[in-house]
């Protein structure tokens, strides 16, 4: 606790970019799987979600 600081970006530049790109890749994978992936099981499971979010569906 004694070492906690209030800086707006606590990460170094390279750490920040690494974290950002990892987040973009994982996030893109999850959204693609739930929203766009061309699989009948995924489609049926996420059907109402896909419609609600306005993903192109069917």
Which residues contact another protein (rule: CB under 8 A)? Answer: 3-11, 15-36, 38, 40-58
Where helices occur in the chain by DSSP H, the ranges are 13-31, 40-45, 47-52
The nearest distance, CB 1 to another protein, in angstroms, is: 12
The nearest distance, CB 16 to another protein, in angstroms, is: 5
**Alpha-carbon span 37 to 45, nearest angstrom:** 12
The nearest distance, CB 12 to another protein, in angstroms, is: 9
């Amino acid at each position: 606790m004694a070492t906690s600081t209030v800086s707006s970006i606590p990460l170094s530049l390279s750490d920040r970019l690494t974290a950002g790109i990892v987040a973009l890749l994982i996030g893109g994978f999850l959204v693609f799987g739930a929203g766009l992936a061309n699989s009948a099981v995924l489609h049926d499971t996420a059907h109402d979600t896909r419609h609600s979010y306005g993903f192109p569906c069917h």
